Amino acid sequence: MALIVQKYGGTSVANTERIKNVARRIARYHQRGDQLVVVVSAMSGVTDGLIRLAKEITPLPNERELDMLLATGEQQTIALTAMALHALGIPAVSLTGAQAGIVTDGIHTKARIRNITPKAVRELLNAGSVVIVAGFQGETPDGQITTLGRGGSDLTAIALAAALKADLCQIYTDVDGVYTADPRIVPTARKLEEISYDEMLELASLGAKVMQSRSVEFAKKFGVVFEVRSSLNDNPGTIVKEETKSMEGIVVRGVSLDKNQAKVTLVGVPDRPGVAARIFRALADAAINVDMIVQNISHGDGPPTTDLSFTVDKADLAKARHVIEGLQPELGFRQILAHENIGKLSIVGVGMKSHSGVAARMFEVLAREGINIDMISTSEIKISVVIDLARAEHAMRAVHAAFLG
Ligand code: ADP
Ligand code: ASP
Ligand code: MG
């Protein structure tokens, strides 16, 4: 008998047929004698639909109210999944994030889990029930509903697996596992048998939405080994775990493309100490994640000014603009430009630590395709470039072909 945490994403519970299918899989494990905690997402498209409704009311919805709204998506699926299990004669109880003991900080729409007290979950398991938990949501210590950032049901599952010391954590989705690239964009992508936390974390942060990056961070911190696999078949998936020696032999493990970034350029920013600190502090205080930053050399005849570009999530663009506009009177830059037509293409692999010439090779591939590089950033195990969105998928296929065949 094992304690298993399973997570089913939006497409796996997209309609009542799929929910019944999920229930049959859960029933198989239950009948084997396993204890099951099942985390479900909202039905596919529901969270997006709710965000759309909010934006029809106002472009910058109050974030507490947005969380109140978004949390309803998962609440539908937990109840429907429990009903589907009842129909199969399996005892099951649904719990909201709060009822499952998931306590977060108060950063609405991107809350971080502070701690989990899964008392109710344990009691229900001991009573023989399958426990269905709403993904993506939690509650602050003073009872406010929060959500954990897009894709946050992955985090709910991994955090519950850590808190319950589960024997197995399975992330069920609509692909067979983690591939060398998004198989929807790169048809020649291959499924990986295993991948290290660090590589998965980079791929996820750089656009491979198969796992939420925060959930991988959490898994690494608490040593939760998990498997990404399909809810539509029984193929073995991809194991995500600590790096092993043999993983270093491969230079590039995967390629990812982030189409959800926007570039903000501040034109004519005074070039004096403290200005960058002021700008990025204000963005940080508004919980806006800034990724790449590029500052040009100073220009102009009078007091030196410079142009400063950085990237943020498209979802944060309106908020970032608002924050920056607020600094205008104080800093006196000339103009704010926003570009949404960018793509961030990255290659990732722990083997890069011990191989040289990888960046040069990537840039040569892009040059051969006539693709201009707008921004570059690197770390020990990844190289990212910002390029024109219109050519980004083509670039991804070319780079994948060069490194991964
Ligand atoms: P879920 O609703 O189950 O959470 P997501 O849509 O969030 O599923 O993530 C699964 C999707 O991630 C796949 O359908 C695939 O298109 C995409 N994806 C992006 N990069 C990769 C990758 N490297 N390997 C597998 N899938 C990927
Ligand atoms: N329903 C949420 C989203 O669409 C959480 C999740 O699916 O993991 O982002
Ligand atoms: Mg997801």
Instruction: Please give the number of the atom of ligand 2 that sits closest to the Cα of 10.
Output: 7
pLDDT of residue 46: 98
Tell which residue, 133, 71, 141, 72, has the closest CA to residue 106.
Answer: 141
Query: From residue 166, how far is each of 26, 153, 157, 222 by CA, in Å?
Result: 16, 17, 10, 12
pLDDT of residue 246: 84
Tell me the average pLDDT across 340-366.
95
Q: How far is the CA of 157 from the centre of ligand 2 (A)?
A: 12
- At residue 94's C-alpha, the angle toward residues 89 and 99, to 5°, is 150
* Strands annotated E in 177-225: 194-196
CATH number of 3-174: 3.40.1160.10
Tell me the average pLDDT across 337-357.
95
Specify the pTM.
Answer: 0.93
Q: What is the CA 37 to chain-centroid distance, rounded?
A: 22
pLDDT of residue 300: 67
Q: pLDDT digit string (tens) for 85-101?
A: 999 999 999 999 999 99
Tally of residues, the chain: 405
- Nearest CA owner, ligand 1 atom 1: 9
Q: How far is the CA of 295 from the centre of ligand 2 (A)?
A: 35
- At residue 49's C-alpha, the angle toward residues 96 and 176, to 5°, is 70
Q: In what order do the strands lie in the sheet with 194-196?
A: 92-95, 130-134, 35-40, 3-8, 168-173, 226-230, 238-241, 194-196
**Mean pLDDT computed over every residue of the chain:** 96
Instruction: Please give the number of the atom of ligand 1 that sits closest to the Cα of 9.
Output: 3
Q: Is the CB of 173 under 6 A from ligand 2?
A: no
Q: How far is the CA of 211 from the centre of ligand 3 (A)?
A: 6
Q: How far is the CA of 372 from the centre of ligand 2 (A)?
A: 34
Alpha-carbon distance 232 to 119, whole Å?
32
What confidence tier does 153 reach under pLDDT thresholds 50, 70, 90? Answer: very high
Tell me the average pLDDT across 202-219.
96
Phi, psi for 19 (deg, rounded to 5): -65, -40
Tell me the average pLDDT across 241-269.
94
pLDDT of residue 286: 94
- Nearest CA owner, ligand 2 atom 8: 151
Helix (H, G, I), strand (E, B) or coil at 215: helix
Phi, psi for 172 (deg, rounded to 5): -90, 130
What confidence tier does 248 reach under pLDDT thresholds 50, 70, 90? Answer: confident
